Structure 1
Amino acid sequence: MKRIIKKVAVLGSGVMGSRIACHFAGAGIPVLLLDIAAEGRDRNKIVNDALTAAAKSNPSPLYTPDIVKRITTGNFDDHLKDINGCDWVIEVVVERLDIKRQLFDKVEQFRKPGSLITSNTSGIPIHLMAEGRSEDFKKHFCGTHFFNPPRYLRLLEIIPTKETGKEVVDFLMEYGDLILGKTTVLCKDTPAFIANRIGVYSIMSIFRLVDQLDLTIDEVEALTGPLIGRPKSATFRTADVVGIDTLVKVANGVYDNCPDDEARQIFKIPEWLNKITANNWLGDKTGQGFFKKVKTDKGSEILTLDLKSFEYKPRVKPQFASVEAAKPVEDLASRIGLLIAGKDKAADFLRQFHYSLFSYISHRIPEISDELYRVDDAMKAGFGWEIGAFETWDLLGVAKTTEAIKAAGHSVAPWIEEMIAAGHPSFYKIEKGKTLFYDIISKTYLPVPGGGAFIILKNYSDQLVWKNSSCKLYNIGDDVLALQWNTKMGTIGGDVLSGIQTAIEKAEKDFKGLVIANDGANFSAGANIGMIFMLAVEQEYDELDFAIRAFQNAMMRVRYSSIPVVVAPHGLALGGGCELSLHSDKICAAAETYTGLVELGVGVIPGGGGSKEFALRAADEMHAGEPENITLQNRFLTIATAKVATSAYEAFNLGIYRKGLDEVVMNQDRRVAEAKRSVIDLYDGGYTMPVQRTDIKVLGRSALGALLAGIHAMEQGQYATEHDAKVARKLAYVMCGGDLSEPTLVSEQYLLNLEREAFLSLCGERKTLERLQSVIKTGKPIRN
């Protein structure tokens, strides 16, 4: 029987419950959100207040504000009976077994037979909650552990009991992946499951090294963040965000419930950590933890806790020779290798940390998972690690590192020695674009399940068609090419533009079409600002004009090629990255895509066809009987205020993505495969090359006057600086088609010429140069 989820009930509206409800609503599922009844006339006050707070929180749990309309609220006393109309009931109440059991007693009275019932517990054994329940309840009961915040952290741990039906487990694994966009990881019912077991061990082992190596919090943060492929929150900041009390609770849980864990003592709480919790310095929830934000004469400042004096002091940027040598290295594998091989205290710390972590994960197979890839998947999706621990071990060389681990006084599990002795050199290998993992049961390599639905571009290195210093073009099968580049933040410079042109040329000769995507953290943060700044400062305007023409030509080549070009953005897709999307035949965007034309912030207008494209779309959206300039004004304001869509869904509202054509892919890992499928569908559907437009209606002076008046009002009201206004006036001129006396039909090239001339003139402005320089130095533009 095919299971369909038409409605979900979420029991408990706290931080997790309300946000899980928001995520299901974002996936298009109606939700019934319940909590305890409040005293007084408004019995739904508790749940309504919780949902209102969630909707207003930042970052938002909602893809767009109107999604909250899919959530109906109620209370346990009056509305628990309504779960009879739900296909899945998720319990998210307080972490106490007795309270959960009491709630399940009531749930059994009302849930319809065959409906799913799951718990979002992060620590209570799943089988204990199922004890004493009916046969149907047990068969359909499972742990579904979302990580907070559920919209942004991609991990969903699925924890069945022995009584859970296989059909239920298979359904939850697939549904979490396809509909909820999660990395679904099958876990055993062991303390802390997978991610928290490994993640908290990682943090606690770092705490131990702080004492052993006399390290400061600032030093550890510098060594355990993006430098080694971990989030910016690194270690101590992560603890503050999660809650230091939560961290301590999980650590104590492992210590108490895992007597046979060979590293059990690592989970013992250090004296200084007990003192922090006794002081109620629990992190963000109490306003201070390992860090504290204070107000000063210069604004706000982040102070760091000195673990010896227990005083908060100004942050100190640490200096390590090994780190300075490794920082410029873009490739993570090479960078970690350099760091581990260093000779200073930082290198010593990173060696000890990694060797103890490798030892620990080896002993957790098969205790917490039979398959090693699940450990890596959980850490990447739940803790934001760029690469998993087994993947890192592979990068450093399994056999060589195993000897170093033992020399450092740690042990490895026997299966590691057996694997090496049998001549298997790594935990993973790539064959025909698919990832295989070493399976300790069969002692062979097996494909990672579901790999056919995911296309990881770097796995196609043996299918490389062409490359230059920034780009690689792969044959990803079925006569489809895929282009990616490896520049910092995915920025687009001359090499990338050349790569786009070459990729289309090769696709037109021998393939059905082209996918443009990136494996990195972001699709593209836009054009290469550094190159623009250098040419502008040196007043190389002919070179700058050539560079802008090259960008425009590449975008128009994307639009007017004889094969379909599908773009698959994720993360940041700003400026030039947005313009590339605007000119594609179709966009297959990850739900978490943040896109917009943000050039006004750095003192220029979109110069790669973005201004032209918005003017073109405004013309196409004008309707008879409506003031013609209203649509143009809306389009103008989107660029003039540098609006960025906070999700792919919001990009439709901003007119960047096209309703009925572009699509959102909930699971980021599936976007390239979906883009490939779209290329094939477009080609097989009889794709024909579009014809360049010469019929774009621009409004000239009739709209220009209104836009200029609006800009003047914004400047007078101090909503825009003098330079903001100057840039906005240039944009208005371009989008109106210039100072034309009446509405006129023009070509795309006409608008591109206006756009390029405006961009060039603004690059000669001192304040634009100041903004560009600020972005290069600090990552943020100044408001001058």
Structure 2
Amino acid sequence: MKRVIKKVAVLGSGVMGSRIACHFAGVGLQVLLLDIVPKDLPADAKPAQRNKIVNDALQAAVKSNPSPLYTKDALKRISTGNFDDNMKDIATYDWVIEVVVERLDIKQQVYEKVEQFRKPGTLITSNTSGIPINLLSKGRSDDFRKHFCGTHFFNPPRYLRLLEIIPTRETDPEIIDFLMHYGDLHLGKTTVLAKDTPAFIANRIGVFGIMSIFNNMEKLGLTIDEVDALTGPLIGRPKSATFRTADVVGIDTLVNVAKGVAQNCPDDEARAVFAIPAWLETMVNNKWLGDKTGQGFFQKRKSAGGEKEIDVLDLKTLEYGPRQKPKFASVEAAKPVEDLKQRLKMLAAGQDKAAEFLRHFHYALFSYISHRIPEISDELYRIDDAMMAGFGWEIGAFESWDTLGVARSTEALKAAGYTVAPWVEEMLQKGNTSFYKIEHGKRLYYDVASQTYKPVPGGDAFIILNHHKEKTVWKNSNASLVDIGDDVVALQWNTKMNSIGSEVLEALNKSIGIAEEKFKGLVIANDGPNFSAGANVGMIFMFAVEQEYDELDMAIRLFQNSMMRVRYSAVPIVVAPHGLTLGGGCEMNLHADKVYAAAETYIGLVELGVGLIPGGGGTKEFVLRAGDEMHEDEPETITLKNRFFNIATAKVATSGFEAYELGILRKGHDEVVLNQGRRIAEAKNAVIEMYNQGYTMPVQRKDVKVLGRSALGALYAGIHAMWRGNYATDHDALVARKLAYVMCGGDLSEQSLVSEQYLLDLEREAFLSLCGERKTLERIQGVLKTGKPVRN
């Protein structure tokens, strides 16, 4: 049967339930969020009183940072109620998700009520992270059990991409197939099929990793600050590293999962690692549970000067003290290396205490994951997928093992007293030296059961550019153009924060030329954490400080001409952004034929923050779009004002969906892709479709509507009001006036039609003049030194 999900009921409005509801509303579904009625209410209590728990929980979720909603309007799709008055309403819903407290008896009471009203065939799933799924469905009807399974989201559901699907012995296989597909395509999740074993996949491995770290840090005498410095971005893990992650998740949650594994996995060879250290038991008894109680491994306080400071716990004394910045020779040597895999190799070869810790960290992890197959998963790639999507690892555990060398690491870990599962030894004996390999652009994984390599499923829908290196068409030191099949090429670059400098622009122009000559079209994307943080401001600063204004003028012209080349090429060009897409990175998207943006794309023109205006065609493009959007039913300056203030306040869309509201993405034209991994394949398909429809190169515009003095006066008045209200500094006001001048087409006496080149010239002149301002240079210098602009 064809199953369609239009309405979802979420039972339980705690931290997870409320945020799961927000995510479903964010992707466009109607959501009913229910919870219990407060105790001791009078018989005549009004609905607002009876729904107080659920309404308070939803409001707390909406106010949380980062937001669980893609846009504020999504909240309108959530209605609330309580189990007593509104459980009957689930009869019209397509999917019921239970997210109540982690107690079997309470969950079974909820299921009893659900069965009274749920229509046959409706999906019913649990978000439990610890209770066996087979136990939950015990005693329920045949239809309930057939349509029941575990759907374990990770917190926060919008941002962590993992969705574990855990079937029972009686779950209909069609339901599992549907949820695996639906979670991927419609919820943007990495859906991982997990077995009904304690803690499933991600928490089993993740909590082992944390407990193993606790053990090793004590042996080596490391502090919390030292461990977090070693287990964060340095090794491809999130900034929250180990102890900050524990505070966010909840130390009680961590302890409960660890105890659950120790109690329910008697055959786990590393069961002793899950024993709770005395200091951790003390923390739980003291209610030092992390963020939820205001203190955990870290504690916020105010200094004598009223500034916020963070203290860290000393695990020996259990007292808080100032944080210390650790220094290790091996770390200082490896830190500048951009490539994660090269950095891991350098760290593993180090000779200090940090390197020793990281070696044991990896040995313990490699040993443990080898023994978990086939216990928690039959396929090793599922473990890697779960850890990357659920814990934010940049590469998976088996991929890390490949990076450090399977044979070499296996010998080293055995020499250090660890063990590996027999299948690893057998794999090596057969001459297979890695868990993954790339053949013809496809990623293969070692299948333990058949002792052969098989393609990782979904390869056609998930294009990873680094897997196409063998089909490199052209490259320079910072960028490469690869053939991704079907006569389409893709350009990616690898600079710090994927900034755009002269070599990237060279690659862009060269790639367009090659695509025009030999291919159907071009995709611009990358596999890194972010699409691009914008133009190389270091180069701009150098030219400006040395007063090399001719060089700077040439650089700006090159950037503008390159963006116009993206817009006016003989083949379709589609950009597939994700993560930070700022300044020049945003301008590239503004000029593309089409954009396929990941839902988690944070895009905007932020140049005002460094005392500049968008100088790569971004200002011109906003003027062009404003002119096209103006209509007779509104004062003409309204559309232009909105566009102006988006740039003047350096506004960044907090999601791909919000980018529509800011006018960066075009409604009905550009697309938002919920599953980030699919965006490049979607972009490629769009190139082929445009080519097959008979793509012709657009003609440069000479009819851009600008408003001249009438709008300029209105914008100047708005800038003055912001300056008088202390919302803008003197320099903010200066930059904003330059921006207004460009966006109005200059000091024209009346509304006029101008060319794109006319606006580009105005844009470039304003940009150049601002590069000569001392306060602009101070702002750029601040960004280069600290990553944050100076407010002057």
- TM-score of the two chains, using structure 1 as the length reference: 0.99
- 1:34 Cα deviation (Å)? 1.1
Cα distance in 1, alignment partners of residues 781 and 112 from structure 2 = 63
- 1:53 Cα deviation (Å)? 1.8
Once the two structures are superposed, residues 503-543 of structure 1 have per-residue CA deviations (whole angstroms, 9 ceiling, x without a partner) of 11000011111000010000001011111111111111111
> Which residue of structure 1 aligns with residue 574 of structure 2?
566
Q: Does 1:101 align with 2:77?
A: no
Alignment map for 1:354-393 (pairs within 5 Å): 354-393=362-401
Partner SS state of residue 48, structure 1:
helix
> Which residue of structure 1 aligns with residue 232 of structure 2?
225
Cα distance in 2, alignment partners of residues 511 and 553 from structure 1 = 22
> Which residue of structure 2 aligns with residue 83 of structure 1?
90
> Which residue of structure 2 aligns with residue 196 of structure 1?
203
- 1:625 Cα deviation (Å)? 3.8
Q: Over aligned residues, Cα RMSD in angstroms?
A: 0.8
- 1:700 Cα deviation (Å)? 1.1
> Which residue of structure 2 aligns with residue 10 of structure 1?
10
Alignment map for 1:249-648 (pairs within 5 Å): 249-296=256-303, 297=305, 299-648=307-656
Once the two structures are superposed, residues 287-328 of structure 1 have per-residue CA deviations (whole angstroms, 9 ceiling, x without a partner) of 111111111116111111111222211111111010011011
Cα distance in 2, alignment partners of residues 369 and 175 from structure 1 = 21
Cα distance in 2, alignment partners of residues 173 and 626 from structure 1 = 47
Alignment map for 1:75-154 (pairs within 5 Å): 75-154=82-161
Alignment map for 1:138-217 (pairs within 5 Å): 138-217=145-224
Partner SS state of residue 123, structure 1:
coil
> Which residue of structure 1 aligns with residue 689 of structure 2?
681
Give percent identity, aligned residues only: 75
- 1:279 Cα deviation (Å)? 1.5
Cα distance in 2, alignment partners of residues 255 and 608 from structure 1 = 58
- 1:37 Cα deviation (Å)? 2.2
Q: Does 1:28 align with 2:35?
A: no
- Return the letter of the residue paired with 2:376: I
Alignment map for 1:679-718 (pairs within 5 Å): 679-718=687-726
Q: Does 1:655 align with 2:660?
A: no
- 1:125 Cα deviation (Å)? 0.4
- 1:686 Cα deviation (Å)? 1.4
Partner SS state of residue 451, structure 1:
coil
Cα distance in 1, alignment partners of residues 396 and 591 from structure 2 = 36
Cα distance in 2, alignment partners of residues 79 and 551 from structure 1 = 58
Once the two structures are superposed, residues 354-400 of structure 1 have per-residue CA deviations (whole angstroms, 9 ceiling, x without a partner) of 00110000000100000000000000000000001100000111111
Partner SS state of residue 452, structure 1:
coil
Once the two structures are superposed, residues 173-196 of structure 1 have per-residue CA deviations (whole angstroms, 9 ceiling, x without a partner) of 000000000000000000000000
Once the two structures are superposed, residues 580-633 of structure 1 have per-residue CA deviations (whole angstroms, 9 ceiling, x without a partner) of 000000000000000000000010000000000111111111112422111111
Cα distance in 1, alignment partners of residues 341 and 706 from structure 2 = 52
Partner SS state of residue 128, structure 2:
coil
- Return the letter of the residue paired with 1:533: F
Partner SS state of residue 453, structure 1:
coil
Cα distance in 2, alignment partners of residues 110 and 474 from structure 1 = 55
- 1:74 Cα deviation (Å)? 1.4
Alignment map for 1:759-778 (pairs within 5 Å): 759-778=767-786
Q: Does 1:41 align with 2:49?
A: no
Cα distance in 2, alignment partners of residues 654 and 168 from structure 1 = 39
- Return the letter of the residue paired with 1:29: L
Cα distance in 2, alignment partners of residues 192 and 52 from structure 1 = 30
Once the two structures are superposed, residues 166-214 of structure 1 have per-residue CA deviations (whole angstroms, 9 ceiling, x without a partner) of 1011100000000000000000000000000000000010011111000
Partner SS state of residue 292, structure 1:
strand
- Return the letter of the residue paired with 2:169: K
Which one of 74, 79, 87 corresponds to residue 72 of structure 1? Answer: 79
- 1:452 Cα deviation (Å)? 1.6
- TM-score of the two chains, using structure 2 as the length reference: 0.98
Q: Does 1:754 align with 2:762?
A: yes
Partner SS state of residue 159, structure 1:
strand
Partner SS state of residue 449, structure 1:
coil
- Return the letter of the residue paired with 1:615: V
- Return the letter of the residue paired with 1:41: K
Cα distance in 2, alignment partners of residues 285 and 51 from structure 1 = 17
Cα distance in 2, alignment partners of residues 630 and 140 from structure 1 = 52
Q: 1:734 to 1:127 in 2, by over 3 A?
A: same
Cα distance in 1, alignment partners of residues 146 and 579 from structure 2 = 39
Partner SS state of residue 735, structure 2:
helix
Cα distance in 1, alignment partners of residues 710 and 471 from structure 2 = 55
- Return the letter of the residue paired with 2:473: V
Once the two structures are superposed, residues 418-469 of structure 1 have per-residue CA deviations (whole angstroms, 9 ceiling, x without a partner) of 0000111100011121111000101100111122210000000111100001
Equivalent pairs, count: 784
Q: Once superposed, which parts of structure 1, at least 4 consecutive aligned residues long, lie more than 4 Å away?
A: none
> Which residue of structure 2 aligns with residue 239 of structure 1?
246
- Return the letter of the residue paired with 1:85: T
| Structure 2: gaps spanning 5 or more residues | none
Cα distance in 1, alignment partners of residues 247 and 777 from structure 2 = 38
> Which residue of structure 2 aligns with residue 725 of structure 1?
733
Partner SS state of residue 588, structure 2:
helix
Q: Which moved more, 1:214-223 or 1:532-541?
A: 532-541
Cα distance in 1, alignment partners of residues 216 and 233 from structure 2 = 19
Partner SS state of residue 435, structure 1:
strand
Cα distance in 2, alignment partners of residues 113 and 727 from structure 1 = 63
Partner SS state of residue 157, structure 1:
strand
- 1:756 Cα deviation (Å)? 0.6
Cα distance in 2, alignment partners of residues 405 and 604 from structure 1 = 54
Cα distance in 2, alignment partners of residues 384 and 689 from structure 1 = 41
- 1:6 Cα deviation (Å)? 1.8
